[in-house]
Amino acid sequence: MLSEEDRRLLHILSQDCRFTPEELAIQTGLSPDYITKRINQWEKDKIIVKYGLLINYEKLEEDRVTALIDVKVLSQRGQGYDKIAQRFQRFSQIKSVYLMSGDYDLCLVVEGKNMHEIAQFVSDKLSPLELIDTTSTRFILRRYKQDGIEFYGEEERPKRLMITS
């Protein structure tokens, strides 16, 4: 069970992991030595799994497409969802794998340079797997907010696309 101080420390780190132990000590009232030991232990215990960077690729005008692929799997004797998810984890195109409730069993977050590349991945790599029953692919057209970060302030909101007939 985490103490309230540890929860606050993790929350601050989740918002910005660039703070030094000394800066974190000022914000939390904990000692820099305690903070360093806690972070090291959390990394060892895989509570902190990764430090990351969130990039707005749209501003770089770089080709990158993200798709959410819902997957319904065929039940396989002796294979639970964990084993199936482990197979999906091996594909470099798949960035995340989630077990879901509802009509589909798993949701895959897949990245590629363009829609064609993702479609090729689905048809060549995903669909031929004997454990797949059906898939449903949805492409992300624009990210407005991710991981609690807004991508556009009021002054830089994308212009509304015109609807023409």
Condensed to tens digits (0 to 9), the pLDDT of residues 26-47 reads 999 999 999 999 999 999 999 9
Contact (Cβ atoms closer than 8 angstroms) between residue 104 and residue 133: no
Share of the chain above pLDDT 70, in %: 92
User: What angle in degrees, to the nearest 10, is found between the helix axes of 4-15 and 32-44?
Assistant: 80
- Nearest CA-CA partner of 105 in 67, 138, 146, 133: 133
User: What angle in degrees, to the nearest 10, is found between the helix axes of 21-28 and 32-44?
Assistant: 110
> Distances in Å between the alpha carbon of 145 and those of 68, 96, 149?
16, 17, 5
The predicted model gives 1-6 an average pLDDT of 90
Token digits for 75? Answer: 């039940």
Higher pLDDT, 19 or 63: 19
In this structure, of 108-112, 137-141, 146-150, the range with the lowest mean pLDDT score is 146-150
Q: Which residue segment(s) compose the domain that 9 sits in?
A: 4-44
Same domain, 35 and 64: no
Token digits for 41? Answer: 């232990």
Higher pLDDT, 150 or 153: 150
The predicted model gives 139-158 an average pLDDT of 79
Is residue 165 assigned to a domain? no
Q: Which residues of 12-30 are buried (b: 16+ CB within 10 A; e: fewer)?
A: bbeeeeebebeebbeebeb
Please tell me the distance from the alpha carbon of residue 2 to that of residue 47, in angstroms, as a whole number: 12
Is residue 118 assigned to a domain? yes
- CATH number reported for the structural domain that contains residue 87 in this entry: 3.30.70.920
pLDDT of residue 62: 77
Same domain, 79 and 130: yes
Q: Over the stretch 67-82, which tens digit does the pLDDT of each residue have?
A: 999 999 987 776 789 9
Same domain, 62 and 95: yes
Provide the whole-model pTM.
0.73
Is residue 129 assigned to a domain? yes
- Nearest CA-CA partner of 137 in 118, 164, 114, 159: 118
Coil, helix or strand at residue 93: coil
Angle at 103 between CA 98 and CA 108, to 5 degrees: 25
Give the chain's domain count. 2
